[in-house]
């Protein structure tokens, strides 16, 4: 159990570092914040790919702790996405808020599906 926490902590440390690096620049397209969108898409792709690889290859579940829960859990961010969206609504950017919602949710779902598909093709599960 103690080693499980080490996997979780190591993954979390790497994920939060990458999130800080990507979101620290506050990238925008017009008024649409894309830094959080990027980490959510990247994290979703990695989660889809890693979960498929772990189950498909019969890998140790500690990889799920390290990558899925630790790394992806701290890389991706629902709270900042929600905060940015509420801020957009507060300043009257309703269309931009709607685009942000559709992109964050839709692209994250798509990235999970794509990650699973890529790994399935690479390791011949399909």
pLDDT of 126 > 80? The answer is: no
pLDDT of 1 > 80? The answer is: no
With bands split at pLDDT 50, 70 and 90, how would you rate the model's confidence at 30? very high
pLDDT of 16 > 70? The answer is: yes
pLDDT at 3: 80
Residues 6+ apart with CB under 8 A from 73: 11, 12, 15
DSSP character string of 20-81: HHHHTT--EETTEE-HHHHHHHHHHHHHHHHHHHHHHHT--THHIIIIIIIIHHHHS-HHHH
pLDDT of 91 > 80? The answer is: yes
Which pTM does this prediction carry? Answer: 0.91
Reduced to 3 states, what is the DSSP secondary structure of residue 121? helix
Segment 111-125, tens digit of pLDDT: 999 999 999 999 886
pLDDT of 89 > 70? The answer is: yes
Segment 32-87, tens digit of pLDDT: 999 999 999 999 999 999 999 999 999 999 999 999 999 999 999 999 999 999 99
First to last CA, the chain: 34
Q: Are the beta carbons of 87 and 100 closer than 8 angstroms? A: no
């Amino acid at each position: 159990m103690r080693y499980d926490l080490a996997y979780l902590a190591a993954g979390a440390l790497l994920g939060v570092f990458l999130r800080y690096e990507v979101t620290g620049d506050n990238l925008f397209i017009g008024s649409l914040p894309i830094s959080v969108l990027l980490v959510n898409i990247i994290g979703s792709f990695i989660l889809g790919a890693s979960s498929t690889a772990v189950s498909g290859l019969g890998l140790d579940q500690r990889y799920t702790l390290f990558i899925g829960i630790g790394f992806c859990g701290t890389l991706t961010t629902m709270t900042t996405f929600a905060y940015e969206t509420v801020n957009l609504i507060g300043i009257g950017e309703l269309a931009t808020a709607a685009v942000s919602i559709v992109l964050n949710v839709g692209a994250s779902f798509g990235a999970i599906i794509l990650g699973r598909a890529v790994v399935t093709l690479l390791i011949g599960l399909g």
